[in-house]
Amino acid sequence: MPKKMQRLDESPDFRPFKFRIQAFTNAFLEELARQGYPEEKIPMKKVRHYLWRQPYIQRFNEDGRKAKTKGNHVWNIEAKKMGDGNWEFRPFHRKLSGTPPSVAYCGLRWHWSPRVWDPQASFQGVPVYFSSPSLPSWLSWNGDELSGVPPPDAQSCDITVMAKFMLGGQEGQVSHSFRINIAPRSAVDTTFSRSPTTNVNESSRRASDMFRPPPPPPPSQPPNVSENAPARVVEVLQNVAQRVTEAAHIQQMSTRPTENISTLVKQRQAVEQSLVAYDQALTGPTPPETHRLAVAAQAVVAEAAQSAVAPRAAAAGITPTPLLAIQVASVGEMTDLAQEALAEVVKMQGVGSNNVDVIEATSSLLASRTRQHDISFKRLSCQPNHT
């Protein structure tokens, strides 16, 4: 522990500190009294209001709830030690939270629901009006969601989001700018959309081709199961993120929440971060940790697809490749299975777990369920028929 503390003291980066509110307030009052300002001169109420508005104290997490540690409300502070023995504190500023997908695929719905985060105040129940000074024709605002389907001729563009609100009788505004890169959506379902009069031999050849394992990917890209897979991988991840976001919003508004809001927030963070990593991996080389998360995100969708088609595949006596599974399974099936497994993993690992570990564990859980189904089916098939 002393060595760890020494490394932290020597670190040039800001590091987080958590303080119990009452202990912090009492220490602040003691320091004021030591400086000649006892409670008789500055009442406790004024001191509290002063601390509540301090930009160096984070009172609320990005989910809009008060920060907690081990059941106790805390205040978060980030600071780093300077060479002269003094400390520098990092201010927390109001901002738009949530990460917009960096890639929009032609023909595939793109959407993002930003949220206003105020580190010193709760925004629950505060009406927010979102707008953008300019948008491409395919993109529009519907309430607090920015969405649209890019056409084949869509171009990459820069977007600015502005959020206006009234808080404490004062008008406020925050903004965020980002870039949307347009990518073509591969024809995922071309095999199934062709005319039924297609030559039978050609159909058999295509089916045979589907069962061939894909060539190994280049080292700078995540191992795609096929050139056709990325669009559906993105669609499933987007659907999971949207469902979890909606569930978290419902729980926040409910007077009797049925689910821990922190687990939903963790699910949302994990899937949103994995979606960003996957988008980045599709558009160019990525750092090792981002690459690892992109691979895990793709594996989640592939394993969900395998689980979805497992009963039909076992009945047909075939072992589908990830490519065929993704093509055959519906987006709804894959979304349901991925979301269910993600929720289970977050409950097991806790909200403090690493997002990469969460996504990798989700993939492993789905894979184990597919194996269990295969084993059960084989045992059932081996049982003799009694007539």
Whole-Å CA distances, 312 to 2, 142, 308, 381: 58, 40, 9, 14
C-alpha distances in angstroms, 386 versus 37, 125, 322, 383? 92, 65, 36, 9
* Neighbour count for residue 312 (Cβ, 10 Å): 12
DSSP code string of 354-386: -HHHHHHHHHHHHHHHHHHHHHHHHHHHHSPP-
The rounded distance, in Å, linking the Cα atoms of 36 and 30 is 10
pLDDT in the model for residue 160: 96
Residue 64, number of CB atoms within 10 A of its CB: 21
pLDDT the model gives residue 11: 62
Distance, CA of 141 to CA of 164 (rounded, Å): 14
254 close to 326: Cβ distance less than 8 angstroms: no
Query: What number of CA atoms fall less than 13 Å from residue 26's CA on the CB side?
Result: 5
On whether the CB atoms of residues 87 and 79 are closer than 8 A, the answer is yes
Please name the residue that has the structure tokens 């992109």. Answer: 294
Helix, strand, coil percentages (3-state) for the chain, rounded to 5, are 45, 20, 35
CATH architecture of 93-185: Sandwich (2.60)
Name the packing angle between helices 288-316 and 355-382 (round to 10°): 20
Query: Is residue 341 within a helix (H) or strand (E), and if so which, with residue range?
Result: helix 331-349
Residue ranges of domains in the chain: 2-89, 93-185, 187-387
Q: What is the pLDDT of residue 7?
A: 58
pLDDT under 50 in the chain at which residues? 1, 187-227, 377, 387
| Cα–Cα distance measured from residue 204 to residue 39, given in angstroms and rounded to the nearest whole number | 86
Residue 328: Cβ-neighbour burial (10 angstroms; 0-12, 13-18, 19+): middle
Question: Residue 305 corresponds to which tokens in the numbers above?
Answer: 């697809």
